[in-house]
Amino acid sequence: MKKLILRTVLVFLCLLGIQNSRAQDINFNDSWSFFNDKAPGAEKPNFDDSKWRELNLPHDWAIEGPFDIKYNARAGGLPFHGTGWYRKNFKLSSDKKGKVVRVEFEGAMYDAHVWVNGQFVGNRPYGYIGFEFDISKYLKFGNENNVIAVRLEPKDLSSRWYPGAGLYRSVWLKIDEPVYVGQWGTYIATPTVSDKLGVVQNETTVENKSNQKAKVVVKHDYVSPAGITVASIDDEIEVPANSSAVSATYTNIKNPKIWDIDSPNLYEVVTTIVQNGKIVDSYSSKIGLRSISFDTDGFYLNGKKVRFNGVCLHHDNGALGSAVYKRADERKLQIMKNMGVNAIRTSHNPPSREFLEVCDELGLLVLDEAFDTWKVEKVPNGYNVFFEEWAERDLKDMIKRDRNHPSIIMWSTGNEIHEQHDKKNGWKVAKMLHEYCVEMDPTRPSTFGMNNFEAPYKMNFAQQADIAGINYKPTKYKYIHETYPQLALYGSETSSCTSSRGIYHLPIEKYETHESLHVTSYDIIGPPWAYPPDVEFHFQEQNPNIMGEFIWTGFDYLGEPTPYGGKDNSTNGYWNGHWPSHASYFGAVDMCGFPKDRFYLYQSHWTTKPMIHLLPHWNWKGMEGETIPVYCYTNLDAAELFVNGKSMGKKVKGKDLTELIVKFSRYEGDSFQSKYRLSWEVPYQAGNIKVVGYKNGKIVKEEQIFTAGKPAKVSLSVDRKEIAADGSDLSYVTVKVLDKNGNLCPDADNLVQFSLRGEGEIVGVDNGNQISLEPFQAKQRKAFSGMCLAIIKSTKKAGKIKLTANSKGLKRSTVSITTK
């Protein structure tokens, strides 16, 4: 009966999507004390922290602000550096004495030092990698109190984007018998996968912290996506005293449900350790049965060629900062899938566990990236400070943690590494990191992204990875492939187009910066290396051997406000020259998750479900009779534009071209004829514009934009009206300022005030405006281009949440959310 209960709990954990879990692990996120400054003696158990702030994890202290020009706009203009202390009191019952007790931090930003009951336990510098410490010998049991203290010291000029600060991922307390499955202890591969048979190879590391050797039975139960046990296998091994041993087995699964982009089937593997007839540990893993292969012709998933419709994503979630909420990552990735994305590059660091779980569940391919820097610095206090001592362990731990995820298809050891210029030693470092990848997981290739041309190829650097990532060199794809035919290639960063949602500057022109500190959404502006998406589409089609692309970026992110602020190595690391610009313009989606026009350009190229999108807005008071460029993005055959009911002509996609102003590195000419956009030049007159899309001569889709009147009301819409009462689930509420007829007011910047009643709290507000200095943690927000956002978090009590939005002079709106 005990085994049945334990198994039921494990299956429940898996249904929640928790990878590499065990029933006895205790979530350690609640009831921490926090102090944001130096606190001499805070590691001591009797230290007085009664005046410290009480909070629950995950926590990012920097996102609380305030924004200030004294901080670096390149890192978001927020106070992420300094010292932060976390302390937690806890008790352990006497029956826990003699067990192995570990504390696991999924991420701590950064340079974490940990004490238990005043004894120093250990240090881990890299903020993006998880780690654990065995704290058994430091603990007290019974009615005695234990204190864990954590000091974090993020440094200025340690990141090229917003890293966040604090215990921003979950913490776990693990309590085990002396014999147990080690940290990230299962390594599960699928060497053979077909519709008829899946061969699953399982290597499980069993730890023995006792002074006697242990004979144990390692049992694996394989549970199908339908919840049916389809295979089981036992393996008897002997584990030496105070050592570890590996149980290696394989299992045949007949007629497996294959993990694929469109059918991301996940199996549960329940690993049970039995000693002297007693279950001493149970450990659950999620896996997907799938095959991957690469060659110079492309990437193959389950034997079928797949091109990467990929995006690069930083780890922050806008108003939430770096604090990890699974729903935030799920929403972000759902939005990306809706754009047509099938692949994610985790730029430029290991992602959270939750992020990878969602990728597994949604069928997204992942390029898992370890570092932005090796030995040679980009910013003075970057990972280069830790590389010599920690790179091997950090890279191997990333792979060990993540290698069971079916979504992961490549290990990236770095991004635009400066060693690519080092003729003598650069290739040696690249080779060393590649060998670590092979040692930990020979089933996936290594890669890195290179922005230099042509030095890394001539200097034997590019050849040290299985697959060469090319950043911003679409015009050189053909040359690289022909000159280095043994290299498998893909666009690891592409386009770098910039824009501000809902902003249109006329006339259309190529400029470096604009006095508004915004960027036009006609999607032609970017830094010197950048180019419109259309250019990459063209060269990808011309070079079918290129595996696809990862655009920079899917979402806007905090920091790196290109084209504003500064440039590498010319402003002493600070990008405050165009303050208050402090956030990215690169995203196809803004930080709220609201699509920009570019979202629909990618959707028109990457999806087949009929779609059509029209831009710009149609509020141009004072410009009556002047010419307005109107663009249409569609995956249909043709489109016809109407202005106030009058046809402006029908355009055929692929035949009627749109001339784009283009000028970027290694491109000859100053324009590009795009077959991916349809366009018209029409005189402005108030009223409406409508575009009608045709497929095989029939109208299948249309979109209409009206000239909006004065703001009259606030509109609320919620992404999910029912969420979990678990204290961490989220509901995103979109706020629009509308005229009396329900049209979005595209220039509206009304201040919207929120009030909430019930079992929830407002944990973030935003509007996607890269120059707004309004706090993210507030109960009000100005609209930007007519829209803003409120993020609601549940409590741990089931009930109702009622959110009301008010704006002076406008009709209010209310929305209800149920928590269960």
* pLDDT, tens only, 534-558: 999 999 999 999 999 999 999 999 9
The answer to whether residue 512 is domain-embedded is no
**Same domain assignment for residues 424 and 558:** yes
The answer to whether residue 526 is domain-embedded is no
The crossing angle, in degrees rounded to 10, of helices 387-402 and 426-440 is 30
Between CA 330 and CA 408 the distance in angstroms is 17
Question: Which is catalytic among the residues 132, 416, 640, 759?
Answer: 416
- The pLDDT score that the predictor gives to residue 116 is 98
- Going by C-alpha positions, the residue among 326, 407, 403 that lies closest to residue 361 is 407
Whether 566 contacts 599, CB under 8 Å: no
Two tokens, residue 428: 């040696």
Rounded to the nearest 5 degrees, what angle is found at the Cα of 178, between the Cα atoms of 175 and 181?
A: 75
Three-class SS of residue 543?
A: coil
**Same domain assignment for residues 46 and 66:** yes
Residue 201, class by beta-carbon neighbours within 10 Å (0-12 exposed, 13-18 middle, 19+ buried)? Answer: middle
**Same domain assignment for residues 454 and 541:** yes
Element (H, E) at 392: helix 387-402
Whether 180 contacts 273, CB under 8 Å: yes
Two tokens, residue 50: 């009664």
- Cβ burial 251-289 (10 Å sphere, 16+ → b, else e): bebeebbbbbbeebbbbbbbbbbbbeeebbbbbbbbbbb
Among 223, 254, 287, the domain boundary falls at 287
Give the model confidence (pLDDT) of 154-173 as tens digits.
999 999 999 999 999 999 99
Mean pLDDT taken over the chain: 95
- The pLDDT score that the predictor gives to residue 12 is 35
**Same domain assignment for residues 389 and 456:** yes
**Same domain assignment for residues 362 and 222:** no
Count, residues in the chain = 820
Among 543, 572, 601, the domain boundary falls at 572
Residue 118 backbone class (left: φ over 0; alpha: ψ -120 to 50; beta: rest): left
Catalytic residue at 493? Answer: yes
**Same domain assignment for residues 681 and 763:** no
The answer to whether residue 520 is domain-embedded is no
The answer to whether residue 665 is domain-embedded is yes
Q: What is the CATH number of the domain that holds 149?
A: 2.60.120.260
Q: Is the pLDDT of residue 645 over 90?
A: yes
What is the radius of gyration, based on Cα positions, of the chain?
27
Between CA 654 and CA 677 the distance in angstroms is 9
Question: Which is catalytic among the residues 104, 177, 369, 493?
Answer: 493
Mean pLDDT across the stretch 524-529? 94
Between CA 758 and CA 767 the distance in angstroms is 24
pTM value is 0.96
Between CA 369 and CA 788 the distance in angstroms is 32
- What are residue 275's DSSP bridge partners? 216, 278
**Same domain assignment for residues 702 and 725:** no
Q: 342 phi and psi, to 5 degrees? A: -125, 0
Query: Sorting pLDDT into bands at 50, 70 and 90, what band is 573?
Result: confident
Catalytic residue at 144? Answer: no
Bigger pLDDT: 246 vs 569: 246
**Same domain assignment for residues 689 and 745:** no
Among 706, 728, 747, the domain boundary falls at 706
DSSP string, 190-219: EEEE-SSEEEEEEEEEEEE-SSS-EEEEEE
Give the model confidence (pLDDT) of 604-620 as tens digits.
999 999 999 999 999 99
Whether 395 contacts 370, CB under 8 Å: yes
**Same domain assignment for residues 786 and 641:** no
Between CA 345 and CA 549 the distance in angstroms is 10
Q: How many domains does the chain have?
A: 5
| Lowest mean pLDDT across 23-27, 173-177, 380-384, 415-419 | 23-27
Q: What is the CATH number of the domain that holds 251?
A: 2.60.40.10
Give the model confidence (pLDDT) of 26-71 as tens digits.
999 999 999 999 999 999 999 999 999 999 999 999 999 999 999 9
- The pLDDT score that the predictor gives to residue 7 is 36
**Same domain assignment for residues 243 and 310:** no
**Same domain assignment for residues 698 and 733:** no
Between CA 565 and CA 578 the distance in angstroms is 5
- What are residue 679's DSSP bridge partners? 631
Mean pLDDT across the stretch 489-506? 98
- What are residue 32's DSSP bridge partners? 55
Mean pLDDT across the stretch 784-804? 98
Three-class SS of residue 213?
A: coil
- The pLDDT score that the predictor gives to residue 758 is 97
- Going by C-alpha positions, the residue among 473, 474, 469, 468 that lies closest to residue 453 is 473
Two tokens, residue 541: 């089609």
Which residues form the domain of 345? 304-504+534-572
**Same domain assignment for residues 720 and 794:** yes
- Going by C-alpha positions, the residue among 779, 783, 816, 790 that lies closest to residue 732 is 790
CA 381 to centroid of chain Cα atoms: 23
The answer to whether residue 542 is domain-embedded is yes
Two tokens, residue 469: 């990532």
The answer to whether residue 511 is domain-embedded is no
The answer to whether residue 148 is domain-embedded is yes
Residue 699, class by beta-carbon neighbours within 10 Å (0-12 exposed, 13-18 middle, 19+ buried)? Answer: exposed
Between CA 211 and CA 74 the distance in angstroms is 53
Q: Amino acid letter at 200? A: V
The two counts, helices (H) then strands (E), for the chain are 9, 46
The answer to whether residue 516 is domain-embedded is no
Between CA 425 and CA 53 the distance in angstroms is 49
Q: Is the pLDDT of residue 319 over 70?
A: yes
Cis upstream peptide for 348 (omega within 30°): yes
